[in-house]
Amino acid sequence: MHWKRIIALVLITLPLITATGCRTKFVAGVRRLIGLPRSSQQTGKKVEDFYAKNVSPRVAVQDSAGMESEDNRQVITPELAARYRELAVIEPFDPMVRYNLGRLYLQQGVLDQATDELDMAASLDPEFTLAYLMLGRTLRLRGQYDLAIAKLAVASKLQPDWAPPYIEAGICWDQRGFHEKAREQYQAALAVSPKNFDVYNNMGYSFFLEGQYDQAIKQYKRALELAPDDRYVNNNIGMAYGLKGDFKRALVHFGQAVGPSAAHNNVGFMLMQAGEIEKSIEHFQEAVRINPESEQALANLVTALRVMGRYEEAEQAHQRLLMVQKVHQPKVGASSSQLQLDPLSRPNGVNSIIKSPNAKRDNIVAAWSSAAATIATGASSFEPAWDVSYSSAHWQVLLWGVVFIHGLVVI
**Whole-angstrom distance, CA of residue 133 vs CA of residue 156:** 9
| pLDDT at residue 42 is higher than 70 | no
The confidence score (pLDDT) of residue 80 equals 75
Shared-domain flag, residues 132 and 170: yes
Nearest 5°: the CA angle 254, 257, 258 is 85
Shared-domain flag, residues 24 and 128: no
Shared-domain flag, residues 30 and 111: no
Shared-domain flag, residues 32 and 107: no
Query: Could you say which DSSP state residue 343 is in?
Result: P
Shared-domain flag, residues 173 and 117: yes
Strongest mean pLDDT among 53-57, 98-102, 143-147, 358-362 = 143-147
Does residue 228 fall inside a structural domain? no
Residue-wise pLDDT for 304-322, tens only, equals 999 999 999 999 999 999 9
| pLDDT at residue 98 is higher than 80 | yes
Does residue 142 fall inside a structural domain? yes
Helical segments of 159-273, H only: 164-176, 179-192, 197-209, 213-226, 231-244, 247-258, 260-273
Shared-domain flag, residues 28 and 107: no
Domain end: 194, 226, 255, which one?
194
Domain end: 137, 167, 194, which one?
194
pLDDT band at 108 (very low <50, low <70, confident <90, very high): confident
Residue-wise pLDDT for 153-206, tens only, equals 999 999 999 999 999 999 999 999 999 999 999 999 999 999 999 999 999 999
pLDDT band at 77 (very low <50, low <70, confident <90, very high): confident
Residue 226 burial class via C-beta count within 10 angstroms: exposed 0-12, middle 13-18, buried 19 and up: middle
Shared-domain flag, residues 186 and 75: yes
Does residue 131 fall inside a structural domain? yes
The pTM of this model reads 0.66
Domain membership of residue 126 as a residue range: 57-194
Q: What is the CATH number of the domain that holds 104?
A: 1.25.40.10
Residues ≥6 apart with Cβ < 8 Å to 13: 400, 403, 404, 407
Does residue 93 fall inside a structural domain? yes
**Whole-angstrom distance, CA of residue 220 vs CA of residue 209:** 14
Shared-domain flag, residues 114 and 188: yes
Does residue 25 fall inside a structural domain? yes
Shared-domain flag, residues 11 and 129: no
Shared-domain flag, residues 21 and 110: no
Other beta carbons within 10 angstroms of residue 181's beta carbon come to 16
Domain end: 172, 194, 216, which one?
194
Shared-domain flag, residues 72 and 106: yes
The confidence score (pLDDT) of residue 327 equals 80
Chain length of the chain: 411
Does residue 95 fall inside a structural domain? yes
**Whole-angstrom distance, CA of residue 286 vs CA of residue 247:** 15
Shared-domain flag, residues 61 and 115: yes
Does residue 64 fall inside a structural domain? yes
Does residue 118 fall inside a structural domain? yes
- Domain tally, the chain: 2
Closest CA to 350 of 73, 61, 60, 69: 73
